[in-house]
Amino acid sequence: MELSNYIFLFVFLFSILFFIRNLRRIISNINLGRNINRHDRPIDRWKNMLRVALGQSKMIRRPIAGFLHIIIYIGFVIINIEMIEIIIDGLTGSHRALSYIIPLNLYNFLIASFEILAFLVLFACIIFLTRRNVVKLKRFWSKEMTAWPKTDANLILIFEILLMLAFLFMDASDMMIQINDNKKIVGSFPVSQFLTPLLSNLDISQLHFLERFCWWFHILGVLAFMNYVLISKHLHIFFAFPSTYYANLNPLGQFSNLDSVTKEVKLMMDPNADPYAVPTNNTEVSQSFGAKDADDLNWVQLLNAYSCTECGRCTSNCPANQTGKLLSPRKILMDTRARISEIGSNKRKGVEDDKSLLGDYITSEELWACTSCNACTDSCPIELDPLSIILDMRRYLVMEKSAAPTELNMMFTNVENNGAPWQFSAADRLNWKNE
């Protein structure tokens, strides 16, 4: 092994270990959430994951963005097969190692496929950049899309463009080196051959330098991209699959009741129950209702927050947002992710703060603007559920703080006094039948 192979080995192992360390931190943050059972109906869950995450079924609801995203998605998966060869070459010092392992015709087909996909990914990324920065689609310029979210999205696209260009120029220079050496050309280069006129003035040593530079740029770029994803909205590359697997499979609009409240109601309605009995099971000890802070949410909701792609489809379909209300479902997920990351960091440092998700990140005005119509959940391409976070925070406001809006408090009072949400006596509650 030469020095370059040892350098490659060090960089590769460091990148992998750094990635594992930071991924474990994110998983530990998610595990700060309350427990929830989402292990039922495994067959349905596998089907949902394969249909939505792997099959991209909800992306194509918006055909242009959906088609371009599928190109990048397929390109990302298939082109990275080339990483197998790059790693082998980096560790052993070989060149195009797979061409000696698999039949040459198959190898040529793979390289040609990689190049065509690289060109398509390049094209799709340029279109996405144009949509964001020239066309300026409204959903990419909402209030919550501050400097960092905008920069993050652009950096990812620029990163992918540079990686694809490096891959194509690496192939172009390698093809010219093989031609210069009068050897049988290994690989098929349907796209990079059109770049060779740009390299025609380079001598053989310069071609070797360009090929090596692009090779190192590509592998280091991929390793850097892999670690950058963990602090980026593109974490959905990894988390879209578990998020769709653990998604709520119940019909939209079917809300869950708190177990503690259900038990209390059943106890009140059971004439034989002892209201003063002490629970024998520790799990029955009451806990706070709803969620004030991010760690009061369940782990699936926190997984959703880290999985958010910040695409804005939820917000653009939200009727409250469309009418000028403060609510943005995308912001709910972004704020939840920021807060649980802060809580996790504080726990690792052994410090506490006096912040909370409710108040410091999300206001009650945002929460009460929600109509609970489920448009956000239905429109999300990976079936995230910002509504569940909104409802849990509302529960905290109502059941812990009695901080419902005046209109709701009037209704609660009427239900308590009259047995109906309207302000008339209980004896008259069924008069509507005679109208």
Percent above pLDDT 70 for the chain? 96
- pTM as predicted: 0.87
CA–CA dist 359, 380 (Å, integer): 26
Name the nearest CA neighbour of 89 among 74, 106, 101, 78: 101
Tokens representing 150 are 């905008």
Name the nearest CA neighbour of 172 among 142, 137, 202: 202
Contact 95, 208 (CB under 8 A): no
Cβ burial of 19 (10 Å; 0-12, 13-18, 19+) is: middle
CA–CA dist 270, 273 (Å, integer): 5
Residue bearing tokens 């992306």: 59
Would you call 55 helix, strand, or coil by DSSP?
coil
CA–CA dist 250, 370 (Å, integer): 20
CA–CA dist 47, 54 (Å, integer): 10
Percent helix, percent strand, percent coil in the chain, to nearest 5: 70, 0, 30
Structure confidence by residue, pLDDT tens digits, 118-163: 999 999 999 999 999 999 988 898 889 988 999 999 999 999 999 9
* pLDDT at residue 286 greater than cutoff 60: no
Structure confidence by residue, pLDDT tens digits, 158-213: 999 999 999 999 999 999 998 888 777 888 899 999 999 999 899 999 999 999 99
